[in-house]
Amino acid sequence: MMYRSAKKLARRAVAVAKAEACRDMYEELETPEGERRIYRIARIRNKSTEDVNHVKQMKDVNGVMLIDEMKVQERWKEYFEGLLNEENPRDHQNDEIPYLGLTRCVERAEVVKALKRM
C-alpha cells in the first residue's frame, strides 16, 4: 500500500516538473533568441535523420586517400565505369539446334495460381 502511494506521488512530481520545464521552454521559444533556437533544433533533428552510411573518403587508383567530396564522386564514377563497361568472356551455349516450334501461351489461370502460391 505504501509503495503504491509513493509511486503515485513520484509520478505526480515528475508530471509537475515536466509541465513546468515545458512551460519555461515555450516561454523562452517565444523570444527572438528562441526563434533562432527553434531553427537550430530543426536543423539538428533533420541532420540526425539523414543517411550516415555514405562514404566521405576513399582511395584513388594509386592508393592515395581522397577526402574532397568532388574527387570522391569522380573516383566512384571511374570505378563503376570500369566495372560496368568491362567486357567479360561469354559462355557459349551448346551447339544444339534451337527449338523453332510453337510454344503454348501462358494462361491467365496459371498466372493467378502462381501468384496465389507466392
* pLDDT, tens only, 75-118: 999 999 988 887 777 777 676 777 777 778 888 999 999 999 98
21 and 61 in a common domain? no
User: What is the total count of domains within the chain?
Assistant: 2
Q: What are phi and psi of 92, to 5 degrees?
A: -85, 140
Distances (CA, A) of 39 to 36, 63, 99: 5, 41, 68
Q: Which domain holds residue 29?
A: 1-50
pTM of the model: 0.32
63 and 26 in a common domain? no
* pLDDT, tens only, 50-62: 776 666 788 888 9
32 and 60 in a common domain? no
59 and 28 in a common domain? no
Distances (CA, A) of 109 to 5, 59, 104, 106, 113: 67, 54, 14, 9, 6
61 and 42 in a common domain? no
In one-letter notation, the amino acid at residue 113 is: K
